[in-house]
Every structure is written in structure tokens, then in C-alpha cells.
Amino acid sequence: MKKHSVRLSRRFPLPAEAAVVVPKVTPKRWLGAGLPGVEASSLCGKLIVVEGADGSGRSTQITRLVEWLESSGHHTVAVGLKRSTLVSEELETAQQGNILSRSTLSLFYATDFADQLENNILPALRAGSMVLADRYIYTLMARDLVRGMEAPWLRNLYGIALVPDAVFYLDVSPEHLVQRVFAKQSALDYWESGMDLGLSRDLYDSFLQFQALMRERFRELQRDYGFHLLNGERSPDAVAEDLRREVERVLAA
């Protein structure tokens, strides 16, 4: 899959004759205390998040949204989990050993997010760009909740995060997910199957149980944070149409 730049120095160039569309400014706010010395009111871009499990079609929809927004004149920066230049390689290496504790795994991902927030997301929003997040802190919170971490601790940990202008969760049942993952990769991931939790010795069964728990946690988070729930079991075109319609509303707000 083609990856999109996440740094302002590597922006997608627009044709000279293209009109750059500046999004309407809506007041930004932090999930908690925020980052010291950063005024949320100075951030004039839009932050759009697409959440969903591996196999939900999330990355495909992000790619489509980036292409659509860029063609409409909106400069767009794409970000996602494990893309930080600070710790992404170290996190990938650590996960290969399958020996990370739940707290170490949580703090690794939190560090990855904080680095991208400071160096990619905030500068892009300050410049008025559209930021599309291929998953955000809600995936991290859901994973940690399933692994037994306390919700108040997680809210404090991710209090530095900006509240997105919109969050879309692609809802897909575990049974559909496992079919899609096998069709694409012919294998299941240790961590995405929750094998560290001891749910089952069988990888397939553990995947179904873990993804069912993740789905429950996302529905709880949706009630707390007001996600848009979209049926991700439909065709990619149908999902893309819904996403474009909803993003157009965000742009017009």
C-alpha cells in the first residue's frame, strides 16, 4: 500500500494552478491538560480519525480520503500508529519477542503517539492542513482496557491528545475480520490476537475472543467520546461514500 508523508517538509505538492482550500476554523480542545505551552486555539486545521481493527478496511479508506481531499485542494497529512521516528523501530523489534508487559507496551505506544503529536500533528494543524489519522489514541485505550489497565490512568496518560474534529469507527464483527485477515495475510498477528492474555492456546480462537473484547471496549468509548459508527462490512465504495459525506460536514462546520 502506498504510504503518505507525515512530515510537513515532505508534503504532497499541489499543481501550481490548484486552489488551496483553507478549512473553516473551529475551536480545538485537549482531551485533558494538553501539552504545556501549546495553545489549542492556534490550531486551525482539521483532525479526522478513522478507527477500526486490522481487516476493517481502515487503511484503504484513509488512502481514498487523502486522494479525494488532495484533489479538492486540501493539503493533507496522514499519520498512524508506530510511525514515530523516535520509537517505532524499537517498538517493532520489542514486539517480535512477544515478551512485553502490558505497561511497557502501553508506554511504548504512548511515546510513539506523543512524538507524532508534537512533531507531525500539531505543526500540520497549525499550518491549516487536514490531518487524517489511521487510528488514534482510542485504539490504544481500547487495547489497554482489554489488557486490564485502569481507565482513569489512561485518561491521564492521553490527556495531551487533541479532541479530533471527527472520529469514525469502522465496525466489523470478529468473524468477518478473521476472514479478511486470512485473505490478505494468510496469518494472524500475535498481539492482534491477544495471545499475551492467555484467552486461548489456539491462535484463531484467541483472535476471535480478543477482537470481540476490543469491539466491546470501542462501543463503550463511543458512548464516552461520541464516535460515528459505520458498518464496515459493506463494500469499500459504500463505506467511502459515507465517509466523504461526513467529512464534508466537518469541513463545512
CATH number, domain with residue 192: 3.40.50.300
pLDDT score at 4: 43
Task: Let me know if residue 21 belongs to a domain.
Answer: no
Q: Residue written as cell 491549516?
A: 128
**Rounded to whole angstroms, how far apart are CA atoms 248 and 29?**
21
Q: Number of folded domains in the chain? A: 1
In a domain, 153, yes or no: yes
Q: Does residue 19 sit within a domain?
A: no
Residue-number span of the structural domain to which 130 is assigned? 28-252
Is residue 106 in some structural domain? yes
Report the pLDDT value the prediction gives residue 6, as an integer from 0 to 100: 39
Q: Please state, in angstroms and as integers, the Cα–Cα distance from residue 136 to each residue in 67, 80, 96, 133, following that order.
A: 20, 7, 22, 6
pLDDT for position 121: 97
Query: What pLDDT, on the 0 to 100 scale, is given for residue 8?
Result: 38
Q: Any idea what the Cα angle at residue 224 is, between residues 216 and 156, rounded to 5°?
A: 100
Q: Distance between CA 136 and CA 121 in Å, rounded?
A: 11
Cell digits for 17?
494552478
**10 within some domain:** no
Tens place of pLDDT for every residue, the chain, 253 residues? 444 443 333 333 444 444 556 556 578 999 999 999 999 988 999 999 999 999 999 999 999 999 999 999 999 999 999 888 888 788 888 788 766 788 888 999 999 999 999 999 999 999 999 999 999 999 999 999 999 999 999 999 999 999 999 999 999 999 999 999 998 888 999 999 999 999 999 999 999 999 999 999 999 999 999 999 999 999 999 999 999 999 999 999 8
User: Does residue 6 lie in a domain region?
Assistant: no
**Structural domain contains residue 17:** no
pTM: 0.86
Q: Is residue 83 a part of any domain in this protein? A: yes
